[in-house]
Amino acid sequence: MNARTIRVELAGRSYDIAIGPGLIDQAGALCRPLLAAPKVTIVSDETVAPLYGARLAASFDKAGIKASTVTVPAGETSKEFGAFGKLMNELLDQRPDRKTTLVALGGGVVGDLTGFAAAVLLRGVDFIQVPTTLLAQVDSSVGGKTGINTRHGKNLVGAFYQPRLVLADTEVLDTLPRRELLAGYAEVAKYGLIDDPDFFAWCETNGGAVLSGDAAKRTYAIEQSCLAKARIVAADERETTDLRALLNLGHTFGHALEAEIGFGGELLHGEAVGTGMAMAFDLSARLGLCPQADADRVRRHLGSVGLPMRLRAIGGDNRRKWEAARLIEHMRGDKKADGGKLTFILARGIGKAFVTREVDEAALRGLLDDALAA
């Protein structure tokens, strides 16, 4: 197998992340030893299934594994209650038993949805992640956060439920639209901004090549991201200390933007996170916590690769919706909010992120007002 393997160490539930080209065609052989019985249901979306579903199914067939497939519409709307209920019934139509394994073939939407389905189907069946977006390969397929959105906010219903295996076939990224690659790249850069300034500097030099298809650099970015995420998840699986919360850098802002636009609207999660990280560094600088030069560097790099940096440039004619007070209301519904206290991941510099519940709301309001006017 021409792949690098990274282990996520969790007591009794450790698993591998395999990263490399052509893994979809080896999935049957790689998954077979982990299956309770030789039967899987592949969950994919209407864009990914036609591209890779048949190859994955053939690989299972070759390994003597019976595979059925259920597809959901592509995009964030599949992480809604209604779509989730429909998926559960379609899974039950396949007459699964507790030895059935679900296989998530797709981006973060399919992964989050399938993981949550696996957590509750027959009160829990195994699942395997086959992530097909950059975002899913560097972030969502790893760590066991599964769930769906509600009208109260992003990912507010879900479970921590770890996959048995993650198979990241790097070649599938060749069919991913650039905008989606870019959204995933925001979560790559996040790892540098959290605690690895050298990796952020590497991103500044190599981000363009990662996005334009340099296979070696793309693989390196995926490996470094998975190493960082695996280390954090192993130390704080359920976000019970503030360690895992660092992975939420940019998300207090980003989830509020997504909620305001409407899930499935024109703002992608990774785009919201990119804008949110720039805002988190701006707020850090404004509060005197972080050198302004570092905040400028973050905005410059993320903007230079093409991530939207100005709120007025996103949301199209939804611009009228951007109101600081409404964004702050969304932030109050964030899972990290503690007894009504807004929680942010701020930074003392690049690679020096920390969690705080002490942000002065007037400063936040000032930042949002200025961002909305810029």
Ligand X SMILES: NC(=O)c1ccc[n+]([C@@H]2O[C@H](COP(=O)([O-])OP(=O)(O)OC[C@H]3O[C@@H](n4cnc5c(N)ncnc54)[C@H](O)[C@@H]3O)[C@@H](O)[C@H]2O)c1
Residues at the interface with ligand LNCXM5UN (CB under 6 A): 139, 143, 145, 154-155, 187, 244, 247-248, 251, 335
For residue 150, say whether it is annotated as part of any ligand binding site.
no
Q: How many CB atoms lie within 10 A of CB 213?
A: 12
For residue 108, say whether it is annotated as part of any ligand binding site.
yes
Q: Which residue type does 349 have?
A: G
**Annotated catalytic residue 123:** yes
Closer of 100 and 137 to ligand X (Cβ): 137
Closer of 31 and 104 to ligand X (Cβ): 104
Q: Compute the distance between CA of residue 237 and CA of residue 143 in angstroms, rounded to an integer.
A: 7
**Annotated catalytic residue 251:** yes
Shortest approach of ligand X to residue 325 CB, angstroms? 24
Per-residue interface string for the shown chain with ligand X, residues 31-50, x marking contact by CB under 6 A:
--------------x-xx--
Contact residue for ligand X among 43, 83, 103, 110 (CB under 6 A): 110
**Annotated catalytic residue 301:** no
Nearest to 97 by CA among 115, 121, 117, 71: 121
Nearest to 170 by CA among 23, 320, 352, 57: 23
Q: How many CB atoms lie within 10 A of CB 343?
A: 19
Name the burial class of residue 278, with classes exposed (0-12), middle (13-18) and buried (19+) by CB atoms within 10 angstroms of its CB. buried
Q: Compute the distance between CA of residue 103 and CA of residue 40 in angstroms, rounded to an integer.
A: 7
Q: Compute the distance between CA of residue 355 and CA of residue 240 in angstroms, rounded to an integer.
A: 13
Which residue number is nearest to ligand X in terms of Cβ? 108
Contact residue for ligand X among 20, 254, 270, 351 (CB under 6 A): 270
Q: Compute the distance between CA of residue 289 and CA of residue 311 in angstroms, rounded to an integer.
A: 23
Q: Compute the distance between CA of residue 60 and CA of residue 77 in angstroms, rounded to an integer.
A: 29
DSSP state string for 160-184: E---SEEEEEGGGGGGS-HHHHHHH
Q: 277 touches which of ligand LNCXM5UN, ligand X, none (CB within 5 to 8 A by kind)?
A: none
Contact residue for ligand X among 8, 65, 67, 79 (CB under 6 A): 79
Q: Which residue type does 204 have?
A: E
Farthest-apart Cα atoms in the chain, separation: 62
Secondary structure of 116-129 in the HEC alphabet? HHHHHHHHCCEEEE
Closer of 65 and 261 to ligand LNCXM5UN (Cβ): 261
By CB under 6 A, tell whether 132 contacts ligand X: yes
**Annotated catalytic residue 187:** yes
By CB under 6 A, tell whether 244 contacts ligand X: no
> Which one is catalytic: 251, 297, 299, 330?
251
**Annotated catalytic residue 330:** no
Closer of 297 and 330 to ligand X (Cβ): 330
By CB under 6 A, tell whether 74 contacts ligand X: yes
**Annotated catalytic residue 217:** no
For residue 251, say whether it is annotated as part of any ligand binding site.
yes
Output b/e per residue, 148-159; b: 16+ Cβ within 10 A.
Answer: bbbeebbbbebe
> Which one is catalytic: 180, 204, 239, 271?
239
Contact residue for ligand X among 53, 106, 265, 274 (CB under 6 A): 106
Q: Which residue type does 17 have?
A: I
By CB under 6 A, tell whether 135 contacts ligand X: yes
Nearest to 79 by CA among 113, 48, 45, 106: 113
Which residue number is nearest to ligand LNCXM5UN in terms of Cβ? 155
What residues act catalytically? 123, 145, 187, 229, 239, 244, 248, 251, 255, 269
- Residues at the binding site for Zn(2+) are 187, 251, 269
- Residues at the binding site for NAD(+) are 108-112, 132-133, 145, 154
Residues found near ligand X in the complex (CB under 6 A):
45, 47-48, 51, 74-76, 79, 106-110, 112, 132-133, 135-136, 139-140, 143, 145, 155, 172, 175-176, 180, 183, 269-270
- Residues at the binding site are 108-112, 132-133, 145, 154, 187, 251, 269
